């Protein structure tokens, strides 16, 4: 394996960028939320939102947040009624930070991020995803309204995206599929 690694590193041209991503340690927080809730996420780093496992969480009344331990103290969350808010209190200058959220499958999602947004397999009424610099990827959403905006990235609506109103807008350079 070492010889293969040396060969690959030796054969790279200087013009190619090599990124070696270190493994991160994630801290998990579990919140009790209503099944039909509005999840508001406003974070400066990449966000991935997937539904809860219905076989493990039968009542779909939990919201699980996994975040890099470097950002654990700056992340705040609040549950008031059916509103769940996840945001950051202090700007973190770390690169390659990610946040994973598992929410009830019927949740309405309102996501703002400076980096990439990845959403999939939801059946809520609304999905609003806005990224300043990153790509937005929506996979298998069924609801009433989908509104996706990116400042300088790509938008990809993959597989089965069904809604009465679908809006995808790229503000600068990028591709909307």
- Give the mean model confidence (pLDDT) for residues 146-163: 92
Length of the chain: 177
Mean pLDDT of the chain: 85
Spell out the CATH class of 27-133. Answer: mainly beta
User: Domains of the chain: which residue ranges?
Assistant: 27-133
Q: Which residue has the higher pLDDT, 13 or 113?
A: 113
Distance CA 21, CA 79 (A): 34
Which tokens hold the place of 109? Answer: 């999602």
The residues, ordered by sequence, that sit 6+ positions from 107 with a Cβ below 8 Å of its Cβ are 33, 36, 37, 38, 39, 84, 122, 124
| Paired sense of beta strands 108-113 and 38-43, if any | parallel
Please return the burial class of 114, using the count of CB atoms within 10 Å of its CB with bins 0-12, 13-18 and 19+: middle
pLDDT digits (tens, 9 = 90+) for 12-25: 444 333 444 456 78
Question: Per mean pLDDT, which range of 3-7, 25-29, 76-80, 134-138 is the poorest?
Answer: 3-7
Helices (H) and strands (E) in the chain, counts: 1, 14
53: confidence class by pLDDT, cuts 50, 70, 90? very high
Integer Cα distance of 174 and 172 in angstroms: 7
- What pTM did the predictor assign? 0.83
């Amino acid at each position: 394996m070492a010889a293969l690694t040396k060969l690959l590193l030796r054969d790279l041209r200087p013009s190619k960028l090599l990124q070696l991503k270190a493994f991160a340690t994630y801290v998990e927080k579990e919140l009790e939320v209503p099944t039909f809730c509005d999840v508001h996420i406003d974070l400066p780093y990449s966000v991935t939102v997937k539904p809860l496992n219905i076989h493990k969480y039968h009542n779909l009344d939990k919201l699980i947040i996994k975040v890099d331990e470097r950002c654990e103290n700056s992340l705040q969350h609040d549950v008031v009624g059916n509103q769940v808010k996840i945001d950051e209190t202090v700007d973190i200058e770390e690169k390659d930070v990610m946040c994973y959220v598992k929410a009830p499958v019927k949740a309405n999602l309102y996501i703002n991020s400076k980096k990439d947004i990845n959403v999939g397999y939801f059946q809520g009424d609304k999905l609003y995803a806005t990224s300043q610099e990153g790509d937005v990827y929506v996979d298998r959403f069924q609801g009433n309204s989908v509104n996706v905006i990116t400042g300088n990235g790509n938008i990809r609506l993959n597989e089965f995206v069904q809604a009465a109103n679908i809006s995808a807008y790229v503000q600068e350079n990028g591709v909307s599929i």
